[in-house]
Amino acid sequence: MKTIEGIGLGLRHDLAEALLERRPDEVRWLEIHPENYVARGGLFAQNLERAMESWRLVPHGLSLCLGTVTPFDEPYKRQLAGLLDRIDAPWYSDHLCFADVDGSFLHDLLPLPFSKETVQTVKERVDEVQQAIGRPVAVENISYYADPAPRRGWTEPEFLCEVLDAADCKLLLDVNNIYVNSRNHGFDPRPYIDALPYERVVQMHVAGHFTRKDALIIDTHGEPVCDGVFELLEYTLERTGPKPVLLERDQNIPPLDELLAEVRQLSEIYERATAAHESSDPKSRDAAE
């Protein structure tokens, strides 16, 4: 399987036509939301086929929510597996959260308690999904605006590491979410990054966010990426080495040229950081020689 590296964009409806028409070289791969393509024809299916002509596609789910206790929809699991086979997905990612209460889907990503019971629930859910789709599952760390409880004495990265170990799964590392949480909850994001098992990271996300008048930061995916997130991404890539990075833009989508300018800025950071990683990592130097 060909390695996926560099900066990607999401195949979002408002962006698709311009992206598929121009097929810019700066964009190295595309992320899709499977919910938009499962059992769906018409323009969405056509865009998927066109995208596959030029890019590797990486799926990122919005609805399985790997901490929810409600049983999965069995027909959807089968349809999802078929889609992932069709696009030859390297992995499937979804959020480390819950979004369903008493059978009602809340259309939001809610934080999980940092507890042993939660770890066991996520493990069972990840096992079930991996069996159904026949490929690795990655969990994504989310942003949250109220302190998850109970904590059982765990910090957020400690809880995340417990989940990764128990479920033996991969990590979609959302750098913007770490930045947002660090600002809203008053912690240094760098020790968080330092505590992670880099070998489990398969992908990263960066995005823009909105700062309210009361200084609360909201993860909107509707603004340009800020300098603080750029800096944290560089810090992270210097430690992980090359991993595919997605520029998320889901709201207030600007003209493609504006997004490509951000992609080029991210590419410069990516090249600089991964070169620094290689020069400082003896294993990387040995492999290069």
Q: pLDDT at residue 150 above 90?
A: no
Q: How many domains are contained in the chain? A: 1
Instruction: State the pLDDT at residue 282.
Output: 56
CB 201 within 8 A of CB 174: no
| Lowest-confidence segment of 98-112, 153-167, 170-184, 222-236 by average pLDDT | 98-112
Instruction: State the pLDDT at residue 69.
Output: 86
Instruction: State the pLDDT at residue 129.
Output: 97
* pLDDT digits 0-9 by tens, 243-268: 999 999 988 899 999 999 999 999 99
Instruction: State the pLDDT at residue 242.
Output: 98
The pLDDT confidence band at residue 287, using thresholds 50, 70 and 90, is very low
Residue 236, in any domain of the structure: yes
Instruction: State the pLDDT at residue 289.
Output: 33
Rounded to whole angstroms, the Cα distance separating 212 from 243 reads 32
The mean per-residue pLDDT over the stretch 153-180 comes to 96
The pLDDT confidence band at residue 147, using thresholds 50, 70 and 90, is confident
Stronger pLDDT, 30 or 102, i.e. the higher one: 30
Instruction: State the pLDDT at residue 284.
Output: 42
3-state secondary structure of 52: helix
The pLDDT confidence band at residue 111, using thresholds 50, 70 and 90, is confident
Instruction: State the pLDDT at residue 145.
Output: 79
Domain span at residue 100? 7-288
Instruction: State the pLDDT at residue 222.
Output: 74
The pLDDT confidence band at residue 40, using thresholds 50, 70 and 90, is confident
Instruction: State the pLDDT at residue 100.
Output: 60
Residue 35, in any domain of the structure: yes
Helix axes 116-133, 156-167, angle to 10 degrees: 40
Q: Six-digit token pair at 254? A: 């600007």
The mean per-residue pLDDT over the stretch 203-218 comes to 87
Rounded to whole angstroms, the Cα distance separating 149 from 178 reads 18
The mean per-residue pLDDT over the stretch 181-198 comes to 96
CB 164 within 8 A of CB 131: no
Instruction: State the pLDDT at residue 256.
Output: 96
The pLDDT confidence band at residue 211, using thresholds 50, 70 and 90, is confident
* Closest to 9 (Cα-Cα) out of 214, 1, 22: 22
User: Domain holding 121: CATH number?
Assistant: 3.20.20.150
Residue 1, in any domain of the structure: no
CA distances (Å), origin 256, targets 19, 197, 224, 274: 7, 35, 13, 26
Residue 233, in any domain of the structure: yes
- Is it true that the peptide bond before 148 is cis, omega within 30 degrees of 0? no
The mean per-residue pLDDT over the stretch 151-180 comes to 94
Q: Six-digit token pair at 88? A: 């030859």
Give the amino acid at 4: I
Residue 176, in any domain of the structure: yes
Residue 221, in any domain of the structure: yes
Residue 188, in any domain of the structure: yes
Rounded to whole angstroms, the Cα distance separating 82 from 87 reads 9
The pLDDT confidence band at residue 205, using thresholds 50, 70 and 90, is very high
Stronger pLDDT, 240 or 223, i.e. the higher one: 240
Residue 135 host element (H or E): none
Q: What is the mean pLDDT of the chain?
A: 90
The pLDDT confidence band at residue 285, using thresholds 50, 70 and 90, is very low
Q: pLDDT at residue 68 above 50?
A: yes
